[in-house]
Structure 1
Amino acid sequence: MGNESAVVVGVDGSDNARVALDAAITEATTRKTTLHLVAAYHAPAVRRHSVAVEYEKVVREEAAAILAEAAERARDAGADVTTSMHSGDASGVLLEQSRTAALVVVGARGRGGFMGRLLGSVAAALPAHAACPVLVVPRRADGTARAERDYSGRIVVGVDASGAANPALASAADTAQRRKLPLVVVAVAGPDFDADSRAGDDPDAVRSVLAQCRDSVAASHPDVQATTVLEEGAPAEVLAGISATAETVVVGARGSGGFTAMRLGSTAHALLGHAQGPVLVVR
Structure 2
Amino acid sequence: MVQQTSLLFPRLCKAVSMHNVILVGVDGSSNSNRALDWAIVEANIRNWSLRLVSTFPSTFVADPIVGASYALAARQEAQAVLDQATKRAEDQGVRTEAHVESGDATNVLVEHSETTKLAVVGKRGRKGFVGRLLGSVSSGLAAHSHCPTVVVPQGHDTTATELEDGQGTRGAPRNERGEQSTMQPTFFEAVNAEDPPRQQESALNGLSFTGQIVIAVDSGMQGPALWEAAEMARVHGKPLALVSVTGAPVGDLGWSPPVKDSDPYHEEELAKLTRVITAVAARYPDVKASPHLFIGKPAEVLVHTTQTADLVVLGTRGLGGFPGLLLGSVSQAVLHHGRSPMMVVPGANTVS
What TM-score comes out, normalization by structure 2 length?
Answer: 0.73
Q: Distance in 1 between matches of 2:314 and 2:291?
A: 15
Shift of 1:162: 4.2
The reply on whether 1:41 has 2:56 as its aligned counterpart is yes
Select the residue among 146, 171, 179 that pairs with 2:172: 146
Counterpart position of 2:218: 160
Q: Distance in 2 between matches of 1:170 and 1:43?
A: 38
Q: Distance in 2 between matches of 1:96 and 1:54?
A: 27
Q: Distance in 2 between matches of 1:242 and 1:251?
A: 12
SS of equivalent to 2:39: helix
Contact map agreement 2:55 2:104 (CA 8 A) in 1:
yes
One-letter amino acid matched to 2:50: L
One-letter amino acid matched to 1:11: V
Larger mean Cα displacement after TM superposition, 248-257 or 90-99: 248-257
Counterpart position of 2:8: none
Counterpart position of 2:242: 185
Select the residue among 58, 83, 86 that pairs with 1:68: 83
Percent identity of paired positions between Structure 1 and Structure 2: 41
Coordinate RMSD, CA, aligned: 2.1
Counterpart position of 1:170: 227
Gaps of 5+ in 2: 1-10, 156-162, 174-204, 250-261, 347-352
SS of equivalent to 2:74: helix
Contact map agreement 1:105 1:134 (CA 8 A) in 2:
yes
Counterpart position of 2:287: 224
Q: Distance in 2 between matches of 1:268 and 1:185?
A: 16
> Could you list the per-position Cα deviations for residues 51-73 of structure 1 after superposition, in whole angstroms to 9, with x for gaps in the alignment?
22222211211111111111111
The reply on whether 1:252 has 2:315 as its aligned counterpart is yes
One-letter amino acid matched to 2:313: V
Counterpart position of 1:196: none
SS of equivalent to 2:335: helix
> Could you list the per-position Cα deviations for residues 149-197 of structure 1 after superposition, in whole angstroms to 9, with x for gaps in the alignment?
222211111101243x2321111010011111111111113169xxxxx
Select the residue among 104, 116, 122 that pairs with 1:107: 122
The reply on whether 1:125 has 2:182 as its aligned counterpart is no
Counterpart position of 1:263: 326
What TM-score comes out, normalization by structure 1 length?
Answer: 0.90
Counterpart position of 2:43: 28
The reply on whether 1:237 has 2:300 as its aligned counterpart is yes
Shift of 1:232: 2.6
Q: Distance in 1 between matches of 2:248 and 2:315?
A: 17
Contact map agreement 1:155 1:249 (CA 8 A) in 2:
yes
Structure with the higher helix share, 1 or 2: 1
Instruction: Please list, as runs of the form range in 1=range in 2, the aligned pairs for 1:54-65 lying within 5 A after superposition.
Output: 54-65=69-80
Counterpart position of 1:116: 131
SS of equivalent to 1:161: coil
How many residues end up aligned between the 2 structures?
275
SS of equivalent to 1:246: coil
Larger mean Cα displacement after TM superposition, 53-62 or 135-144: 135-144
Q: Distance in 2 between matches of 1:47 and 1:152?
A: 56
Sort the Cα spacing of 1:238 and 1:258 in 2 relative to 1 into closer, same or farther, 3 A.
closer
The reply on whether 1:18 has 2:33 as its aligned counterpart is yes
Contact map agreement 2:124 2:138 (CA 8 A) in 1:
yes
